[in-house]
């Protein structure tokens, strides 16, 4: 699914109106890339803090799609979370002691003795919609948090410079295939291309490890898991609701946040 032209146009207009603060797109061409704009400075929780502790227990992962109002003809209006709702959900997390980290940071704690904040949460964004850059990046930055971008390697709404700005802010880039196929329907060659090929593309394009994978529409089976493992991924996220656990690295649960979830639904998901 894609944003309608109207919504995309609004997002582009918004980004333009924000001028230099919206990241690489608006920078004058002569500006040296060695002086980072505020948008390019890594956020606080991108790397472990001194007060974090070792932790190997379950961690909630949230799943967002589009931030903004659903257009009338949207095929899946529930996948749109309004910006006020998203803003309130992030504030609720902060007020209740949650701190967002990347999935890589969670895995460092799970498998390699790393540390986490007292109430860790991973906030993931699927597919690559423009508001994930224009809105989620600054909103998470306000809290000092990185997110996880589960990016389709081709055909997302994000410019390469948007993704680069998110990575510079400490976000994790994870693969969400090349063209968002249902992986359980593919033959071996196509499966390898979507799973391992997307990782090769993203690593080449952005120069980051791409350690995790996200199943399109949450669809997977044992053949798909084997392909994900063979491609060298550390973990993979599903749409099975619940807390993610270290003993199921390729079946990591996520709470899907929908238009109807609100703060009450989020609090319910997290047991608050």
Positions 203 through 262 that interact with Zn ion (CB under 5 A): 216
| Binding span for Zn ion by CB under 5 A among 36-44, 125-133, 155-163, 204-212 | 125-133
Question: Residue 33 corresponds to which tokens in the numbers above?
Answer: 């890339």
Q: How far is the CB of 142 from Zn ion (least distance, A)?
A: 26
Do the beta carbons of residue 38 and residue 164 sit within 8 Å? no
Q: Which is nearer to Zn ion, 2 or 6 (CB)?
A: 2
Q: Which is nearer to Zn ion, 127 or 139 (CB)?
A: 127
Nearest residue to Zn ion, scored by beta-carbon proximity: 126
Q: Which is nearer to Zn ion, 24 or 216 (CB)?
A: 216
126 binds Zn ion, rule: CB under 5 A: yes
Q: How far is the CB of 177 from Zn ion (least distance, A)?
A: 8
Q: How far is the CB of 218 from Zn ion (least distance, A)?
A: 9
β-bridge mates for residue 214, sequence order? 237
157 binds Zn ion, rule: CB under 5 A: no
Q: How far is the CB of 219 from Zn ion (least distance, A)?
A: 10
For every residue of the chain, which 3-state class applies, written as one string? Answer: CCCCHHHHHHHHHHHHHCHHHHCHHHCCCCCCCCCCCHHHCCCHHHCCCCCCEECCCCEEEEEECEECCCCCCCCCHHHEECHHHHHHHHHHHHHCCCEECCHHHHHHHHHHCCEECCCEEEEEEEECCHHHHHHHHHHHHHHCCCCEEEECCCCCCCCHHHHHHHHHCCCEEEECCCCCCCHHHCCHHHHHHHHHHHHHHHHHHHCCCCCEEECHHHCCCHHHHHHHHHCCCCEEECCCCCEECCCCCCCECCEECCCCCHHHHHHHHCCC
63 binds Zn ion, rule: CB under 5 A: no
Q: Which is nearer to Zn ion, 46 or 67 (CB)?
A: 67
Q: How far is the CB of 214 from Zn ion (least distance, A)?
A: 7
127 binds Zn ion, rule: CB under 5 A: yes
| Binding span for Zn ion by CB under 5 A among 23-31, 72-80, 106-114, 126-134 | 126-134
Q: Which is nearer to Zn ion, 110 or 215 (CB)?
A: 215
Q: How far is the CB of 1 from Zn ion (least distance, A)?
A: 8
How many residues lie near Zn ion (CB under 5 A)? 3
User: Which residues make up the interface to Zn ion (CB under 5 A)?
Assistant: 126-127, 216
């Amino acid at each position: 699914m894609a944003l309608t032209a109207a919504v995309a146009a609004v997002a582009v207009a918004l980004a333009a109106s924000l001028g230099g603060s919206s990241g690489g797109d608006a920078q004058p061409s002569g500006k040296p890339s060695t002086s980072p704009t505020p948008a390019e400075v890594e956020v606080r929780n991108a790397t472990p803090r001194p007060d974090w502790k070792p932790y190997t227990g379950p961690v909630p992962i949230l799943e967002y799609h589009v931030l903004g109002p659903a257009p009338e003809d949207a095929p899946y209006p529930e996948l749109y979370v309004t910006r006020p709702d998203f803003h309130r959900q992030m504030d609720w997390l902060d007020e209740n002691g949650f701190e967002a980290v990347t999935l890589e940071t969670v895995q460092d704690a799970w498998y390699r003795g790393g540390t986490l904040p007292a109430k860790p949460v991973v906030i993931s964004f699927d597919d690559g919609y423009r508001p994930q850059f224009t809105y989620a990046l600054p909103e998470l930055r306000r809290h000092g948090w990185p997110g996880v971008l589960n990016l389709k390697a081709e055909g997302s709404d994000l410019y390469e410079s948007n993704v680069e700005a998110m990575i510079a802010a400490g976000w994790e880039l994870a693969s969400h295939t090349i063209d968002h196929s249902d992986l359980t329907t593919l033959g071996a060659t196509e499966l390898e291309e979507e799973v391992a090929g997307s990782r090769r593309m993203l690593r080449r394009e952005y120069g980051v490890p791409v350690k995790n994978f996200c199943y399109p529409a949450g669809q997977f089976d044992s053949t798909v898991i084997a392909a994900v493992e063979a491609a060298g991924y550390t973990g993979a996220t599903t749409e099975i609701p619940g807390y993610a656990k270290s003993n199921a690295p390729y079946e990591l649960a996520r709470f899907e946040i929908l238009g109807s979830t609100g703060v009450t639904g989020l609090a319910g998901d997290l047991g608050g």
